[in-house]
Structure 1
Amino acid sequence: MQEVAVEEERRLAVDESIRRARAISVELRKVARKARTPRPTISGGGGFRARKGDRLFRLFAVGSLVLLFVVPTAVVAFYYSIVASDQYVSEARFSIRSADSSGSSPMAGLSALLGSGQATDAAIVAEYVKSGAIINQLTDSFSLTDLFTTKRWDPISSLAANPTSEDLIKYWKGKVDISVERSSGLTTLRVRAFSAEDSLRLTDEILRISELMVNRLTRRTEDNGLREAEAEVHTTKDRLTNSILKLKAMRDSTGILDVTLAAAANTEVLTKLRLEKAKLDVQIQSLEENDSGSAPQLGSLKNQATAIGQQIAVYEQSIAGGDTDSSIASRGAELSEAETDLKVAQTEYQKAVAVFEAARMTTERQRSYILTHVQPTLPEEALYPRRILIVFTVALGTGLLWAITVGLAMLARDHTA
């Protein structure tokens, strides 16, 4: 019995030892898991003792916060609240219309509906305003270097001293904003300057120069058309002069001023001669029938009839005889041809003169106009720089940058721990 009791006690002791070993193992695992769980960096880390390098990590987090967030935000806030100069904006909205778009053309309505020509001209104006070409035109009325140099120290907004042409063009593009609606050709122009008066004066001058530029686009074509019309006038005038001289020479050689009048006059004389001869023939026949052949007046009447007959033959020959060189018919054909050439030359000369006058009037008038729908006005308050928006944007951006930087550093630290 004692051996059984001893064996039982020994078994119980072994079970107790196993139970205690299991309990200790469970507690050790809990402590190990707790030690492996990271704590926030600002609390000093986790585990039984702070991890090695946690202090350096806290210093990195604080230093990066200052460098990436606090310093940039403070610098931007200081600049835009104290240093940055006010900038005034003058705005104008306009469209370009041609003097020919009056609606008389059958395609005028379609062109006005599509607005393609106006949009093209507006796009050209937009490119011209943003280019250096308009700067050369503006320098005749403004000193852009003085105009874009602030009276206070502002290294960011102000134009640099003694700028190159490339620097001036780059700065100009930042001060002028122009946009075009492709469907309607409506153009919006916004000009920034450090004073309200300068902004308004610049906008007005840009509109004036742009209108002159648009009219110069078609000037070369119009000048070529004027020169061609003038040359055609000289050509048709020479042709008309030659036709007049030719007709004069033919009238001098033939002695006929008007073929119709000459033919009518000869025909009238011929008719009278024929009537006279007919009367003589009647008298002669009457005398012969009355056996008055020995009448003394019979010979005289026959002589008169013979003379009139000869005259009739001459007139008939002169009107339309076989001699084509001397008859009125042959000479009339030549004169009619010369008169026709003269009329054609006169018509061509009149048309050439009309075309020349139209071309001259076209070159003298203004072809395109800038119709300003929104007139530029004197700004009352500065719209730029947008201080609050810029400071808020910088603060938000630098804050996100710091958070991303610290988050990546924490991931790297936990991965290597």
Structure 2
Amino acid sequence: MLKALWTKIRNLSKLFIYVVIVPTTLSILYFGLIASPVYISESRFVVYSPSQHFSTSGLGSLLSGLGGSNSTSAAQTIHAYIESWDALMALQHTYDIRKIYSSSDIDIFNRFGGIFHPHHSFVKLLRYYQSMVTDNLDNTNGITKLKVRAYSAEDSRKINAFLLQKSQDIVNQLNATAREKAVHYAKNDVAIAEQKLRDATVALAAYRNRQAVFSPPAQSALQLGMVSKLQDQLITQRTQLDAIRAHAPKNPQLPVLKSSIQSLQGEIRAENAKVTGSKQSLASKDTEYERLSVNQLLAQKLLEAAVTSLEQARLTAQKQELYLETISRPNLPDAPQLPHRFEDILATLLISFIVWGILTILIAGVKEHHDR
């Protein structure tokens, strides 16, 4: 039986052997015996902002409204990071990704450092890593699909989970940066207003100490109150003096009343002088005091306005914050998804037959043309 099979093979044309049998046999050997199984871990996430509006008619409708400009930009930033040198170095530091993809358990054609990936430099590893990790953003609904290929199920899952966590960190960093920028100028305004209020308060306190006065308006009111009481006493004693003069001109109390009246008049003049009429009076100190008081009040109002603006800036920044919502966590595949062994062998066979048929027709045409 083997002899008959060998005879049939020898009778086949060399073209058929080289174009169909050899490639198909090699594909059977490679896909059937050599090619290492590839495990794919997949996760899905969406980046959104609470300020974006969406309907509540199911998950698909909800996610369709999440593709705003800020969230899309954040998703593109995540995509750029996942393919970046920093992502590779972070993975290398945590999991030694070069060792994972250089394992001797991986076939020599696919492992890093093998026939098709002979280099061991990190520059070449970056290209290899980029071929094993893909993330695709669906612009219609904002969903990002992250796929990681590896040659063990656990490796694919842990690399996917690591990149998903890094994506969350990127969103947090973007929020922190945006929040800092949003409140930066408002914080400066608050600091300037606080300094102005401190300066105005210190200036007012220094003036009070220098002039030995607390509040000219309040102190003037007290002084005028005392003057009013002294004037009441003066009027009373003058009335008594007039009455005694009219009924008892020789009364011995007259000199006492006159002396008391003169004393009251002196006290009234002295108290009035404290309020007005001299450089040391409260009235002369009131102008500068009022100016300093107004400066302090204005500084206080400016500080209140600056604090309000800062709170508004914080609220606005909070409304514009981005969130990464994980739709599906990285799965642990229980079976390899690649290679498609039977399909790949069949595809090789079909392509070989097509190439063989084309070459046969071309050769026949050349021979027919030559015979003529």
TM-score by length of 2: 0.77
Which of the pair has more CA radius of gyration? Answer: 1
Q: Is contact 1:87–1:193 with CA below 8 Å preserved after alignment?
A: yes
Instruction: Tell whether 2:270 aligns with 1:314.
Output: yes
Residues 381 and 407 of structure 1: CA distance in aligned 2, closer, same or farther (over 3 Å): same
> How does 1:12-411 map onto structure 2 within 5 Å?
62-97=13-48, 101-103=49-51, 109=53, 114-152=67-105, 154-160=107-113, 163-217=120-174, 239-288=196-245, 290=246, 292-319=248-275, 321-323=276-278, 325-345=279-299, 369-411=323-365
Moved more, 120-129 or 222-231: 222-231
TM-aligned CA deviation for residue 217 of structure 1:
4.3
Moved more, 391-400 or 335-344: 335-344
For residues 326 and 124 of structure 2, the distance between their equivalents in structure 1, rounded to whole angstroms, comes to 31
- Name the amino acid aligned to 1:124: T
TM-aligned CA deviation for residue 345 of structure 1:
4.6
What SS is found at the alignment partner of 2:94? Answer: coil
TM-aligned CA deviation for residue 226 of structure 1:
8.6
For residues 353 and 284 of structure 2, the distance between their equivalents in structure 1, rounded to whole angstroms, comes to 109
Q: Is contact 2:47–2:142 with CA below 8 Å preserved after alignment?
A: yes
**Gaps in structure 1 of 5+ consecutive residues:** 1-58, 361-366
TM-aligned CA deviation for residue 230 of structure 1:
7.8
Percent identity between matched residues is 23
Cα shift readout 1:328-364 (whole Å, capped 9, x = no counterpart)? 233233233333434555566678789999999xxxx
Q: Is contact 2:43–2:146 with CA below 8 Å preserved after alignment?
A: yes
TM-aligned CA deviation for residue 221 of structure 1:
6.4
Cα shift readout 1:263-300 (whole Å, capped 9, x = no counterpart)? 23212211101211221232233345x36555443444
TM-aligned CA deviation for residue 227 of structure 1:
8.4
- Name the amino acid aligned to 2:95: F
For residues 402 and 83 of structure 1, the distance between their equivalents in structure 2, rounded to whole angstroms, comes to 26
What SS is found at the alignment partner of 2:95? Answer: coil
TM-aligned CA deviation for residue 382 of structure 1:
0.3
Residues 102 and 277 of structure 1: CA distance in aligned 2, closer, same or farther (over 3 Å): farther
For residues 149 and 32 of structure 2, the distance between their equivalents in structure 1, rounded to whole angstroms, comes to 19
Structure 2 match to 1:43? none
Structure 2 match to 1:18? none
For residues 113 and 331 of structure 1, the distance between their equivalents in structure 2, rounded to whole angstroms, comes to 66
Cα shift readout 1:4-45 (whole Å, capped 9, x = no counterpart)? xxxxxxxxxxxxxxxxxxxxxxxxxxxxxxxxxxxxxxxxxx
Structure 2 match to 1:39? none
Q: Is contact 2:231–2:268 with CA below 8 Å preserved after alignment?
A: yes
TM-aligned CA deviation for residue 102 of structure 1:
4.7
- Name the amino acid aligned to 2:288: E
TM-score by length of 1: 0.70
TM-aligned CA deviation for residue 213 of structure 1:
3.3
Residues 286 and 184 of structure 1: CA distance in aligned 2, closer, same or farther (over 3 Å): farther
Q: Is contact 1:226–1:359 with CA below 8 Å preserved after alignment?
A: yes
Structure 2 match to 1:364? none
Residues 246 and 163 of structure 1: CA distance in aligned 2, closer, same or farther (over 3 Å): same
Residues 381 and 153 of structure 1: CA distance in aligned 2, closer, same or farther (over 3 Å): closer
What SS is found at the alignment partner of 2:120? Answer: coil
TM-aligned CA deviation for residue 90 of structure 1:
0.8
Cα shift readout 1:304-328 (whole Å, capped 9, x = no counterpart)? 3333233323333322x243x4232
What SS is found at the alignment partner of 1:140? Answer: helix
Residues 388 and 353 of structure 1: CA distance in aligned 2, closer, same or farther (over 3 Å): same
For residues 311 and 369 of structure 2, the distance between their equivalents in structure 1, rounded to whole angstroms, comes to 90
**Gaps in structure 2 of 5+ consecutive residues:** 1-9, 55-64, 315-320
TM-aligned CA deviation for residue 62 of structure 1:
2.9
- Name the amino acid aligned to 2:253: Q
Q: Is contact 2:35–2:339 with CA below 8 Å preserved after alignment?
A: yes
The alignment of Structure 1 onto Structure 2 pairs a total of residues equal to 346
For residues 200 and 88 of structure 1, the distance between their equivalents in structure 2, rounded to whole angstroms, comes to 9
Structure 1 match to 2:60? none
- Name the amino acid aligned to 2:23: P
TM-aligned CA deviation for residue 166 of structure 1:
2.6
TM-aligned CA deviation for residue 152 of structure 1:
4.0
TM-aligned CA deviation for residue 216 of structure 1:
3.6
Moved more, 186-195 or 387-396: 387-396
Q: Is contact 1:229–1:352 with CA below 8 Å preserved after alignment?
A: yes
TM-aligned CA deviation for residue 123 of structure 1:
1.1
Q: Is contact 2:66–2:142 with CA below 8 Å preserved after alignment?
A: no
What SS is found at the alignment partner of 1:139? Answer: helix
